């Protein structure tokens, strides 16, 4: 096939080279943005009298027809035409004749592809933000529904102190809030118009980049044409933000996989979101969560790809940069899929309140409350810690829980311990006492929920 850039070539491109260099097999997903960008560009060319108004109108009509053909599935993308940009431009020239060739006036594929990715990513980031916000809502409603459930809070995966399940769930709400902020921040840097940088130097033609920015709703125009065509920071930033989001989803997945196990039994996952084993009839596996955990690795891999692709690239555009798209697209697809399935599944998870509460009884979870009780009586915290440690050791040696101790036994360790201690080392009072800002008391958790909802 004759190439649009074939003028200076005397030999046809090798088939293997066509197969090796093509990107249409994955960049065809940018078609809508390519047409939108071209339409704005051509409108500007007409307005600036770089091409005539009639020519601009003809080209826009042609682009609209191509859009309809792609939408209806009639359009044939060809590998010999390399990428989405040249597929669409060739179709236009085929339709309009030489006038079609005016579309590429004052631009290059280097600024064109940068524009397409930015337009695409702008939409995708907005969608991702909407999904994260939905998932945050799920956590709030779970927290509200389970406001009376106490569970062991863990450090080192050892029972540490009793907490409200709601407080634990809202920890994810906070993480996801930072994810939203990161994506919004990233969006600000995606939202810059690169078009009009041409190959790398700008153009001698009297274009109006600010007008194009207005048409495409870009709040900013890139300042340096060399930077604009060689910048993929925004792709790396998006994948980095996605990686951090995936950290959060993987931690949630891991916890819920543990909690769903026979060993914990803190939750029951909904049947419709689990799968069976092909050999063990009794199994109900948490595959959705396992895959979310696994896909996290895939997104990190994409981050490593884009960072390594861009590393040490001399300015400006290099073909290496075509490799940005697959990790980007894969990240977009993966993040959206994980968020989507969690949004559906989490509201259906059953929390086993009794099991969680029973788990708070063993493990001396209120030992810190005993120490803080002594602190309130004037004992320096270090001493209070040591006294309480000895109480715990005594309990272990005598196979007792803290609440099994009678007052005389406790008084052997400190005569500051009074009968009101039994109040303070109950799990409920321990939780309710955590009234410090951001603490797990019911009062403070409800304050947070109210604030979130207002």
Using alpha carbons, select from 37, 40, 223 the residue that is nearest to residue 115.
37
CB of 121 to ligand ARG, least distance (A): 14
User: Is residue 296 involved in binding ligand ARG (CB under 6 A)?
Assistant: no
> CA–CA separation, 146 vs 137, rounded Å?
14
CB of 316 to ligand ARG, least distance (A): 10
Task: Given the residues 72, 156, 436, 454, select the one marked as catalytic.
Answer: 156
Active site annotation includes 230? no
Touching ligand ARG, residues 327-346 (CB under 6 A): none
Peptide bond into 316 cis (omega under 30): yes
Build a one-symbol-per-residue string for 81-120: x at contacts with ligand ARG by CB under 6 A, - elsewhere: --x-------------------------xx--x-------
- For ligand ARG, the closer CB: 234 or 317: 317
User: Is residue 322 involved in binding ligand ARG (CB under 6 A)?
Assistant: yes
The neighbouring-strand residues paired with 162 are 152
> Of 56-64, 214-222, 306-314, 315-323, which segment contacts ligand ARG by CB under 6 A?
315-323
> CA–CA separation, 348 vs 359, rounded Å?
23
Sign of the four-CA dihedral 47, 53, 58, 59: negative
CB of 84 to ligand ARG, least distance (A): 8
Distance of CA 180 to the CA centre of its chain: 8
> Terminus-to-terminus CA distance in the chain, angstroms?
62
> Of 217-225, 232-240, 314-322, 425-433, which segment contacts ligand ARG by CB under 6 A?
314-322
- For ligand ARG, the closer CB: 21 or 368: 21
E strand intervals along 90-211 = 150-155, 158-164, 192-193
User: Is residue 23 involved in binding ligand ARG (CB under 6 A)?
Assistant: yes
Work out the angle at residue 372's Cα, subtended by the Cα atoms of residues 369 and 377, and round it to the nearest 5 degrees: 130
Whether the Cβ atoms of residue 239 and residue 302 lie closer than 8 Å to each other: yes
Residue at token pair 């109480």: 391
Whether the Cβ atoms of residue 96 and residue 88 lie closer than 8 Å to each other: no
- For ligand ARG, the closer CB: 81 or 288: 81
> CA–CA separation, 54 vs 48, rounded Å?
13
CB of 26 to ligand ARG, least distance (A): 9
If binding means CB under 6 A, how many residues of this protein chain bind ligand ARG? Answer: 10
Whether the Cβ atoms of residue 203 and residue 106 lie closer than 8 Å to each other: yes
Burial zone of 430 (CB within 10 Å; 0-12 exposed, 13-18 middle, 19+ buried): buried
- For ligand ARG, the closer CB: 104 or 122: 104
Q: 3-state SS of the chain: helix, strand, coil percent to 5?
A: 65, 5, 30
CB of 444 to ligand ARG, least distance (A): 51
Q: For residue 151, what is the enclosing H or E element? A: strand 150-155
Using alpha carbons, select from 197, 379, 360, 131 the residue that is nearest to residue 266.
360
CB of 97 to ligand ARG, least distance (A): 25
User: Is residue 319 involved in binding ligand ARG (CB under 6 A)?
Assistant: yes
- For ligand ARG, the closer CB: 110 or 161: 110
Using alpha carbons, select from 178, 168, 172, 167 the residue that is nearest to residue 446.
167
> Of 202-210, 317-325, 341-349, 428-436, which segment contacts ligand ARG by CB under 6 A?
317-325
- For ligand ARG, the closer CB: 319 or 354: 319
CB of 303 to ligand ARG, least distance (A): 19
Build a one-symbol-per-residue string for 113-142: x at contacts with ligand ARG by CB under 6 A, - elsewhere: x-----------------------------
Task: Given the residues 25, 52, 261, 277, select the one marked as catalytic.
Answer: 277
Active site annotation includes 156? yes
Binder to ligand ARG among 321, 335, 379, 395 (CB under 6 A)? 321
Work out the angle at residue 223's Cα, subtended by the Cα atoms of residues 218 and 226, and round it to the nearest 5 degrees: 115
User: Is residue 253 involved in binding ligand ARG (CB under 6 A)?
Assistant: no
- For ligand ARG, the closer CB: 27 or 330: 27
Q: String of b and e for 46-69 (b: at least 16 CB within 10 Å)? A: bbeebbeeebbebbbebbeebbee
- For ligand ARG, the closer CB: 308 or 403: 308
Residues noted as catalytic: 156, 277
Interface positions with ligand ARG (CB under 6 A): 23, 27, 83, 109-110, 113, 317, 319, 321-322
């Amino acid at each position: 096939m004759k190439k649009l850039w074939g003028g200076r070539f005397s030999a046809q491109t090798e088939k293997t080279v066509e197969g090796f260099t093509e990107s249409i097999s994955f960049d065809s997903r940018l078609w809508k943005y390519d047409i939108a960008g071209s339409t704005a560009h051509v409108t500007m060319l007409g307005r600036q009298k770089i091409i005539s108004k009639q020519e601009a109108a003809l080209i826009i009509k042609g682009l609209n027809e191509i859009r309809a053909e792609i939408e209806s599935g009639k359009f044939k993308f060809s590998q010999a035409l390399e990428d989405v940009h040249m597929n669409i431009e060739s179709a236009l020239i085929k339709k309009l004749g030489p006038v079609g060739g005016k579309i590429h006036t004052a631009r290059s594929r280097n600024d064109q592809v940068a524009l397409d990715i930015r337009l695409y990513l702008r939409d995708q980031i907005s969608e991702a933000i909407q999904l994260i916000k939905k998932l945050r809502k799920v956590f709030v409603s779970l927290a509200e529904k389970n406001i009376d459930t106490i569970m062991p809070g863990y450090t080192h995966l050892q029972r540490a102190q009793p907490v409200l399940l709601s407080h634990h769930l809202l920890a994810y709400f906070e993480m996801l809030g930072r994810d939203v902020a990161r994506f919004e921040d990233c969006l600000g840097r995606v939202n810059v118009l690169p078009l009009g940088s041409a190959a790398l130097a700008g153009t001698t033609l009297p274009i109006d980049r600010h007008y194009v920015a207005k048409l495409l709703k870009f709040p900013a125009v890139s300042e340096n044409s060399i930077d604009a065509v060689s910048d993929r920071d925004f792709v790396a930033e998006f994948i980095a933000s996605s990686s951090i989001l995936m950290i959060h989803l993987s931690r949630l997945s891991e916890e819920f996989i543990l909690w769903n196990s026979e060993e914990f039994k803190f939750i029951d996952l909904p049947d419709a979101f689990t799968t069976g084993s092909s050999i063990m009839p009794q199994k109900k596996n948490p595959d959705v969560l396992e895959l979310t955990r696994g896909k996290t690795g895939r997104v990190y891999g994409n981050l490593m790809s884009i960072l390594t692709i861009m590393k040490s690239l001399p300015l400006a555009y290099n073909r290496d940069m075509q490799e940005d798209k697959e990790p980007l697209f894969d990240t977009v697809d993966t993040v959206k899929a994980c968020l989507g399935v969690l949004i559906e599944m989490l509201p259906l998870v059953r929390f086993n309140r009794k099991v969680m509460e029973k788990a708070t009884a063993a493990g001396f979870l209120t030992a810190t409350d005993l120490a803080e009780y002594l602190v309130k009586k004037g004992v320096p915290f270090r001493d209070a810690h040591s006294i309480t440690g000895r109480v715990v050791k005594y309990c272990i040696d005598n196979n007792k829980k803290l609440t099994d101790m009678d007052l005389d036994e406790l008084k052997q360790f400190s005569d500051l311990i009074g009968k009101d201690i039994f109040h303070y080392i109950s799990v409920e009072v321990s939780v309710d006492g955590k009234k410090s800002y951001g603490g797990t008391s019911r009062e403070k958790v409800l304050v947070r929920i109210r604030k979130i909802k207002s």
